[in-house]
Amino acid sequence: MKYVTDDYLHGYLRLIQPKYDGTLGKIQEEAQENEIPIVPHEVARFLSTILSIKRPKEILEIGTAVGFSAGLMSRYIQPGGHITTIDRYEIMLKEARINIERLGLKETINLIEDDAANVLPRLSGPYDVIFLDAAKGQYIQFLPHILRLLPIGGILIADDVLQNGDIAKSRFSVPRRQRTIHKRMRNFLWDISHLDCLESCIIPIGDGVVLCHKIKEYVATEGEFSDD
């Protein structure tokens, strides 16, 4: 797991922030012991805080992993609310199905087993909160769909956006195989920071978290969200 905070600070944050209880806490511990990539604990606490303020009814999650974050977010939705979560990796989906059952959330969490690139154009929304934690090179491609699915007042949270700090470096200083992702993530961060329909900030916890508040309707312009 990559972190942008120094080890001593990261360790301190982990020490003082309370763990999750019950089955959710067990799922978190199991994932950490087996080195399964779930949201870091300090990012999980950030999610808890934002969702306790927002109290959403409908949440969209792009990137299920083993279902920990969906289970966490379910604690903060309004009565009768739902979480729609998308993933395509069977090795993760197998564990996610089991964990959703363990948490007793089969009626609350709708697990869509497909590539988000195929699913997002078919969704109609709206979603009060969208949590983006999928393939990092796809964030910029997903952004137009996210803007369509978020109502005014909706919140976007995106995880792992700073690439262990490499995002601040020249593309020529990162390994060649990572340069496309580096460029696309830079484009994503630029766009969410400059779109006038969003109020956004980038927070250096975990491997970097984006928080965006949609403040007005998005009007598409030709050539926007290019990978060039």
CA pair distance 27, 105, nearest whole angstrom: 14
Q: pLDDT tens digit string along 113-142?
A: 999 999 999 999 899 999 999 988 999 999
Which residues lie across from 156 on neighbouring strands?
130, 212
CA pair distance 68, 126, nearest whole angstrom: 23
Closest CA to 162 of 179, 146, 186: 186
Q: pLDDT tens digit string along 135-187?
A: 889 999 999 999 999 999 999 999 999 887 778 777 777 777 778 888 999 99
User: Which has more confidence, 166 or 226?
Assistant: 166
pTM of the model: 0.92
User: Which has more confidence, 1 or 86?
Assistant: 86
CA pair distance 156, 146, nearest whole angstrom: 8
CA pair distance 8, 76, nearest whole angstrom: 31
Domains of the chain, each with CATH number or no CATH: 7-214 (3.40.50.150)
User: Does a cis peptide bond (omega within 30 degrees of 0) precede residue 126?
Assistant: yes
Across the range 47-72, mean pLDDT stands at: 97
CA pair distance 55, 175, nearest whole angstrom: 41
Q: Is pLDDT of 197 > 60?
A: yes
The DSSP code sequence of 20-78 is: P-HHHHHHHHHHHHTT-----HHHHHHHHHHHHHH--SEEEEE--TTSHHHHHHHTTSP
CB 25 within 8 Å of CB 182? no
Q: Please enumerate in sequence order all residues whose Cβ is within 8 A of that of 223, keeping only pairs 6 or more positions apart, or say none.
A: none
Q: pLDDT tens digit string along 23-45?
A: 999 999 999 898 888 999 999 99
Q: What are phi and psi of 219, to 5 degrees?
A: -115, 115
Calculate the dihedral angle through the C-alpha atoms of 120, 122, 124, 129, rounding to the nearest 10 degrees: -20
- The pLDDT assigned to 148 comes to 96
